[in-house]
Chains A and B, each alone.
Chain A
Amino acid sequence: MKRLLPVGISLCMVALLFVACPLLARKSQSTRIKAGAIQVEMIQSDEIKLPAEFQIALYENLIRQLGQQGFQHVYRDGDRNASGITDLVVLHSTVRGFKAGSERARQVTTVSGATSITVHCQFSRPDGTSLLERDVNGKVRFFGGNLKATYDFAKKAARAAHENFSLPDHE
């Protein structure tokens, strides 16, 4: 009898876990914001002087990563086809911090020379209503060129978009 009690408790816990997981998943899905398509605006860096290649790499990587995260329609800045799309989400990105590291320093010392970039991402409706705001950073610590930080940022930003927006085909 004494043996049966812990086994029973364990079984109850496992059953509770099985029931709770789908319920929690459903809850998180329901809090997602509806997004018919996403339009990426050019990265702004008025306050921080960002090299042109970084700006372009951030923009291009962001578009590519959003596509890979399941957004079937990723529109570019100024694309005429985006007008009239229902539930369009516009992504405005502003560079808040940039530390240009050194690939040479990374290769020679391993521990120094990291490149980091912090970008404030604002997801909004075309009328300007803000839906989500988040600071996302990109880093390259050990191997690779400085532009790899833009890839790291794009991956994280696209993941944030995927977690917070529901896509029409994924419902």
Chain B
Amino acid sequence: MTLKLATLFSRLVLVLAGSLVSMANAQQISRPTSVVQLTGLAGVKDNAKGTLSVESGNLHFVRGKTSSDVSASSIEDVVTGADSQETVGKTVGMLSMAAPYGGGRFLSLFRTKIDTLTIRYRDVDRGLHGAIFTMSAGTADEIKKGLLANGAHATAVEDSNPAALTPSSSSPNKEPKQ
């Protein structure tokens, strides 16, 4: 009798602990990560800089006073990848092209590694959307994990380790998308 009660009690404790862990996972808030939204997020301009986090079951993008949310449960696919971008880019990089003796071209050899995060999600009318983010290297996986814990889906699990897909650092797939 005592043994039965003990077994029942231990099962109850296990079930309770399991549900608490899953609830904690669902509510987890990842710290905001600085990102560049390349394209696709509704209501946000292309190449917009902001912060990205996973909050209360949503992928939360903030730029200044405006914010945009995508429900994790509406995300059909999350893919992370590795990339690189110019260390000296934009206007300075462009102007440096005019430097004598190929000085500007020499500068473009210096590149910073970055992560990419690509999501596919459905809106309320079931219309398919896609969004691409770039962020500092090593941060995309944390957001992906946060999204998966909140109900997002991922079709390609192996993509979470970009190095496995692109073994060579000189692979053209690692070139910048911006």
Q: Which residues from chain B sit less than 8 Å from chain A, CB to CB?
A: 38-40, 77, 79, 81, 86, 97, 105, 108-109, 111, 116, 118, 120, 122-123, 125-132, 156, 159, 172-173, 175-178
Contact = CB atoms under 8 A, between A and B. Distances in A.
Given A59-B130, A78-B127, A108-B109, A103 B122 contact: no
Interface stretch (A50-58, A87-95, A156-164): A50-58
| Size range of the chain A interface in the assembly | 20 to 34
Contact of B116 (A53, A59, A100, A103): A53
Contacts of B86: 103, 107
A79 interface: yes
B132 A53 contact: yes
Contact of B81 (A42, A52, A60, A78): A52
Contacts of B111: 104
Nearest to A55: B130
Contacts of B175: 100-104, 145-146
B43 to A, nearest CB: 14
Interface of A: 42, 51-53, 55-57, 59-61, 75-81, 100-104, 107-108, 115, 145-147
B177 A145 contact: yes
A104 B79 CA distance: 24
